[in-house]
Structure 1
Amino acid sequence: MALRIASIVGSLRRDSLNRRLHDALLRLVPADLSFHDVPIGDLPLYNPDEEADPAEPVRRLKRAIAEADGVLFVTPEYNRSIPGVLKNALDHGSRPPGESVWAGRPAGIIGVSQGKIGTALAQQHLRNILAYLDMPTLGQPEAFIQWSDAMLDADGTIGAGSRAFLQGWIDRFAGWVRRHAG
């Protein structure tokens, strides 16, 4: 039986570099992992007053994470941190107190940007949040990727110059999930 991975892309842009990276990574995953995209763009802003009766998109998010054996975060960096939409999803999934769907789920973080340090600072902020949420998070190899048009081939697959590193990263993530899941 395949391990179920919830994948969350922290960008809402139609032509997001991180969405493109995410979709290309899915072509590299081992057969024993099954990836499921978890949309976060339709979540209402987190409001503690609505915890007792959350909106359907919040219930959908919580079901998807609760059913997952692991979580892949593919995030851009906005103003040296994670996008607000991603923080909003993390907040929804962690509430109400004592009912976090994140706790114990192994996680991996990867991201791409046009800047030279990739998404290093966003990933560090996300690691701090995931530590608080009790999510064991893959530490190595880190993947602070600077976008290059050569990263993906015309058909959206990982280009030759990036394939070995990204295959190695996804294989390490798969091993991390296998070791920590259930």
Structure 2
Amino acid sequence: MKKHLLFLLVAVQLVLAGCTSTPVVKEEPIIEPEPLTLVSSGKPSKVLPSFTTYSWNDDYNFVLAKEEATMLVLTPYIRQQVAKYMSSKGYKLVSNPDQAEMVIGFLFAADDVIANNQVEQRFGLIPGTVREKGADPRYKKGSLILSAMDNRTTKIYWRSAVRGFSDLERDKVTTNGSKMQYILSMLLGDFPEAGR
């Protein structure tokens, strides 16, 4: 009787042990390190006035690429990712630029040729963003310039640029924007909390 009870107890324990599971840990996507160049006109916390609302202005949101389809996909994607980051700092996106305290502008150039020709025309020259022929080939394609302007877009308070990343189109699909959030954290890391 004791043997049967012991055997039954061991069998029940084996069945229960087989039913247990270990929790699944969701892995964060690994961001491959890329050599990047980052320049800024100043520390946002020092040069920006206090504000809580911002908007977009189509005249200051550009995606420059060889294929129009890339432009049509990346413009709303970049807006979405910037809005996500700004929301984490407490800022509110408003649809009408006249009702916003600040306008956020951006220019994304998908490759060097376009970037070299149009960055200065669209946003003015930021030192280090336009490279000369024969410069370091590690810093290839992908320039993103962000700027913070008053709501009439007459005064630029701050602007910053990062250069050297690639495959932003792939980031949208494969990593759910984690690469873009990483890049934005570099550009906007010193952005003050809303209302500061």
What TM-score do the two structures reach when normalised by structure 1?
0.40
Higher strand share: 2
Whose Rg is larger?
Answer: 2
Higher RCO, 1 or 2 (CA under 8 Å, sep at least 6)? 2
